[in-house]
Chain A
């Protein structure tokens, strides 16, 4: 009796594994950026509820991790779509092509602002990108002599700019694996560093040194890596009014009663300012579709249609409720067209 039971159990497992390995997938598999995740999930849920297709599964792997999985090959075991809070890198594109992922459709979803916020109980910060660079870079220019830098000596915001409060510099932000961090470094810090003319000149001469100078965040405790959990940063800011935090606009939007976003170059992080591009620290969000999977995995086309419909990503769409900043109409039209025709990306576009 027992033997029969054990034997049948083994058989069931063997059969189970055998059939699973051969089976095809009847749901869309999406991976990628944690910033696009809250938007993609809403679309997926609506898609699952309003159509007969299964709800897509979405993993939040980070932009880089997403491209890695996405570009690993063509077939049911590889994801169909990857979300990305930055554009695909040329190296990633080439790697995917080498693995057989020849045709990738690029879809821009909208914009996201990165905010520097603090507690409502503290005064509002009015920063320039130069202030941000001087407060957070590992090395800062010394005097105004070209090529001369010193390890960042600034202890308080007042050291950075006499107009700012005399408060110790303490900023909570995402770790290096995060797309938010990449974008922040590129837009805010590099933007500030370029205000020094010799650093701007350096870009043409020695790109490596330029990047190292602009993109390296100080490691002496003034910048605190707080993990990818933005809610945690929000709670810490609420508890300690002297600290600033870096995170996506949607978290500021949800916690407007507790937090205020610092003005950057005189512009407050508000919906309209991010949408029209006047807020300097905003970036585009993307997703990438494997064209080879359209048709073999059911529902991809319909999912794309749902994502690019006006009721989702339009001015009044449900994605804006979740904090997505929509693109201007012309741009929306362009990408909707790309989705309908499944226009693949070519290496020369990057």
Chain B
């Protein structure tokens, strides 16, 4: 650039000085622009850091709000009852026929003998969960020798009492605006004084199926359903996905047909998941006549959904294995199948596994395709196999979020925490596998 100005009157004698001055000028220009370039560099990094900070802030906001809403669900209020197991009422030969509900009610009445009117009695009975009856029944079945004596039992309190104890129902609003009435408040205070109300770890939440009573609702049914569904998905999508990836990458001729297939697989990865649900309804339920709401069909549908992800990840992993490995294997006389099975596949497997786990995590969080095949349903019994009706974790969250009882709000958040824990674990396993087995060339 500088030379341009010097041409014409530049002699050969002072060319060296000229060159020197030219290079000085270049340096000038460089240093003049230097601070600007440094600034641009700094700005660019700042943008990056801001972006990361922003996403971290949103993520932590999500975690904090969910944990703040949900942590209370891991505790449940219990009420201690003294129940007299009257031998006149319980026939040891026919334990299931005894009226356990009446026994619970009797023990409540005994604690508050001043309660006489019908409405007051109803309010009193409403303070303990309907689960108390089943708990008592269970207790008697296991401890038959206790019939005839008074037993002290901690039974779950009703969800409204639970909400009051946890502070989600305010005490200071007018009586008509509370679900806990003034008389009930006085009873609760009395029970608190006697140490008969206590917050304990909520084991039901982890061992129970769904329920319409928040204090009896648990996520085990949904977790089991998710487990069965994912097992089917994994068993089907991993072998099929790997086989497809290997064939397309290593064996298939490169022609128009394989191009079409490749484009279609990439397209399928972007298809909205509800479409797979519709496909599942049409094919698995209507055509093959499989039952509704079962993990088997859920697994089939989610397999269709995760297959493209696994195939794409598998092909990328195969591509990253250097050609020299293939050539060396073929060079010493291995057949193409031997080359793939003995050399290429083992090297590509960590990448494929990572892709599979990410696909599984995606399947774990999916609800839309399951809606059509009837897995968005109220199911109490914990599924015992692939063909028992069941639901999955995200669906359980959706159903609870839609329930009117206020106690379900915290349980919704708690279920989200459990789901997130699963997702984090799965992704951590993927990272671990990659770190441990990945080879770089």
Query: In the complex, which residue of chain A has the Cβ closest to the Cβ of B288?
Result: A21
A217 → B minimal CB distance (Å)? 23
B404 contacts A38, CB within 8 Å?
yes
Query: In the complex, which residue of chain A has the Cβ closest to the Cβ of B169?
Result: A257
A174 → B minimal CB distance (Å)? 12
Partner of B212, one of A17, A38, A54, A253: A38
B378-414 at interface with A (beta carbon < 8 Å): 378-381, 386-387, 389, 399, 401-406, 409
Q: What separation, in Å, do the CA atoms of A256 and B179 have in the docked complex?
A: 8
A60 contacts B379, CB within 8 Å?
no
Q: What separation, in Å, do the CA atoms of A31 and B169 have in the docked complex?
A: 33
User: With an 8 A cutoff between CB atoms, is B148 at the interface?
Assistant: no
User: With an 8 A cutoff between CB atoms, is A316 at the interface?
Assistant: yes
Query: In the complex, which residue of chain B has the Cβ closest to the Cβ of A248?
Result: B404
User: With an 8 A cutoff between CB atoms, is B200 at the interface?
Assistant: no
Bin the interface of chain B by size. Answer: 35 or more
A107 → B minimal CB distance (Å)? 19
Q: What separation, in Å, do the CA atoms of A77 and B378 have in the docked complex?
A: 18
B380 contacts A231, CB within 8 Å?
no
Q: What separation, in Å, do the CA atoms of A229 and B397 have in the docked complex?
A: 13
B288 contacts A17, CB within 8 Å?
yes
Q: What separation, in Å, do the CA atoms of A42 and B213 have in the docked complex?
A: 8
Bin the interface of chain A by size. Answer: 35 or more
Contact A21-B381, Cβ < 8 Å, known A9-B235, A38-B403: no
Contact A230-B402, Cβ < 8 Å, known A20-B387, A21-B289: yes
Q: What separation, in Å, do the CA atoms of A161 and B80 have in the docked complex?
A: 56
**Interface stretch (choices A43-51, A95-103, A126-134, A272-280):** A43-51
User: With an 8 A cutoff between CB atoms, is A309 at the interface?
Assistant: no
B377 contacts A57, CB within 8 Å?
yes
**Interface stretch (choices A22-30, A207-215, A218-226, A294-302):** A22-30
Partner of A256, one of B122, B176, B211: B176
B404 contacts A251, CB within 8 Å?
yes
Q: Provide the residues of chain B in CB contact with A46, threshold 8 Å.
A: 130
Q: Provide the residues of chain A in CB contact with B176, threshold 8 Å.
A: 256
Q: What separation, in Å, do the CA atoms of A38 and B170 have in the docked complex?
A: 25
B122 contacts A45, CB within 8 Å?
no
Q: What separation, in Å, do the CA atoms of A74 and B166 have in the docked complex?
A: 49
Question: Tally of A-B residue pairs with Cβ under 8 A?
Answer: 108
A233-281 at interface with B (beta carbon < 8 Å): 250-251, 253-257
User: With an 8 A cutoff between CB atoms, is B239 at the interface?
Assistant: yes
Contact A76-B291, Cβ < 8 Å, known A38-B404, A231-B402: yes
Q: Provide the residues of chain A in CB contact with B288, threshold 8 Å.
A: 17, 21
A45 contacts B377, CB within 8 Å?
no
A51 → B minimal CB distance (Å)? 11
A16 contacts B296, CB within 8 Å?
yes
Q: What separation, in Å, do the CA atoms of A230 and B403 have in the docked complex?
A: 8
B211 contacts A45, CB within 8 Å?
yes
Q: What separation, in Å, do the CA atoms of A321 and B126 have in the docked complex?
A: 9
User: With an 8 A cutoff between CB atoms, is A37 at the interface?
Assistant: yes
User: With an 8 A cutoff between CB atoms, is A192 at the interface?
Assistant: no
A37 contacts B169, CB within 8 Å?
no
Q: What separation, in Å, do the CA atoms of A109 and B35 have in the docked complex?
A: 78
A60 contacts B376, CB within 8 Å?
yes
User: With an 8 A cutoff between CB atoms, is A285 at the interface?
Assistant: no
User: With an 8 A cutoff between CB atoms, is A330 at the interface?
Assistant: no
B374 contacts A59, CB within 8 Å?
yes
Partner of A59, one of B126, B376, B404: B376
A35 → B minimal CB distance (Å)? 11
Query: In the complex, which residue of chain A has the Cβ closest to the Cβ of B400?
Result: A231
Q: What separation, in Å, do the CA atoms of A37 and B126 have in the docked complex?
A: 22
A1-19 at interface with B (beta carbon < 8 Å): 6, 9, 16-17
A20 contacts B173, CB within 8 Å?
no
Partner of A231, one of B178, B235, B401: B401
User: With an 8 A cutoff between CB atoms, is B177 at the interface?
Assistant: yes
Q: What separation, in Å, do the CA atoms of A228 and B177 have in the docked complex?
A: 25
Contact A254-B389, Cβ < 8 Å, known A44-B380, A59-B293: no
User: With an 8 A cutoff between CB atoms, is A343 at the interface?
Assistant: no
Q: What separation, in Å, do the CA atoms of A229 and B409 have in the docked complex?
A: 13
User: With an 8 A cutoff between CB atoms, is B290 at the interface?
Assistant: yes
User: With an 8 A cutoff between CB atoms, is B429 at the interface?
Assistant: no
Partner of A77, one of B177, B285, B377, B389: B285
Contact A6-B291, Cβ < 8 Å, known A250-B404, A256-B176, A257-B178: no
User: With an 8 A cutoff between CB atoms, is B251 at the interface?
Assistant: no
Contact A322-B126, Cβ < 8 Å, known A229-B401, A230-B402, A230-B404: no
Q: Provide the residues of chain B in CB contact with A321, threshold 8 Å.
A: 126
B291 contacts A77, CB within 8 Å?
yes
Interface string of B122-138 (1 = CB under 8 A from A): 10001000100010000
B291 contacts A25, CB within 8 Å?
yes
Contact A20-B290, Cβ < 8 Å, known A42-B212, A57-B389: yes
Q: Provide the residues of chain B in CB contact with A54, threshold 8 Å.
A: 381
User: With an 8 A cutoff between CB atoms, is B292 at the interface?
Assistant: yes
User: With an 8 A cutoff between CB atoms, is A55 at the interface?
Assistant: yes
Q: What separation, in Å, do the CA atoms of A253 and B406 have in the docked complex?
A: 11
Q: Provide the residues of chain B in CB contact with A189, threshold 8 Å.
A: none
Query: In the complex, which residue of chain B has the Cβ closest to the Cβ of A24?
Result: B291
B409 contacts A48, CB within 8 Å?
no
Query: In the complex, which residue of chain B has the Cβ closest to the Cβ of A20?
Result: B387
User: With an 8 A cutoff between CB atoms, is A41 at the interface?
Assistant: yes
Contact A231-B212, Cβ < 8 Å, known A20-B387, A44-B378, A316-B122: no
Q: What separation, in Å, do the CA atoms of A23 and B389 have in the docked complex?
A: 13
Q: What separation, in Å, do the CA atoms of A6 and B126 have in the docked complex?
A: 56
User: With an 8 A cutoff between CB atoms, is A58 at the interface?
Assistant: yes
Known A23-B291, A59-B292, A77-B291; further 17 A-B contacts with Cβ < 8 A: A20-B387, A21-B289, A27-B381, A27-B389, A29-B293, A34-B402, A45-B213, A48-B381, A55-B379, A59-B374, A60-B399, A60-B402, A251-B404, A253-B404, A254-B405, A257-B170, A322-B212
| Chain A positions near chain B (C-beta within 8 angstroms) | 6, 9, 16-17, 20-21, 23, 25, 27, 29, 31, 34, 37-38, 41-42, 44-46, 48-49, 54-55, 57-60, 76-77, 79, 120, 228-231, 250-251, 253-257, 316, 318, 321-323
Could you list 28 examples of A-B contacts with CB < 8 Å?
Answer: A6-B239, A9-B235, A16-B386, A16-B387, A17-B288, A20-B290, A20-B291, A27-B381, A29-B292, A38-B212, A38-B404, A44-B378, A44-B380, A45-B380, A48-B380, A48-B381, A55-B379, A55-B380, A57-B377, A60-B376, A60-B377, A60-B402, A77-B289, A229-B401, A229-B402, A318-B130, A321-B126, A322-B212
